[in-house]
Amino acid sequence: MPADSPLWPALQPQPVCVFVDGAEHARLRGAVTDSLEQFALRGTRCYTVR
């Protein structure tokens, strides 16, 4: 894929909290945790169990 493709930003490698340590892990994990806290867990469970 050419580097000037409009899809490139979405498809380029992204950092994953599983593969990093220390402060970088804490930063990435914090973003994941903060995002997941936005969901109503009871409502999410009702949709995923069905």
**Residue pLDDT, tens place only, 17-43:** 889 999 999 999 999 999 888 877 777
State both tokens at 13: 């490698």
Rounded-to-10 torsion of CA 23, 19, 41, 34:
30
Say what the pLDDT of residue 49 is: 67
Least confident piece of the model among 11-15, 16-20, 45-49: 45-49
Which secondary structure element, helix H or strand E, spans residue 49, and what is its range?
helix 41-49
Q: Which has more pLDDT, 16 or 40?
A: 16
pLDDT confidence band for 16 (50 / 70 / 90): confident
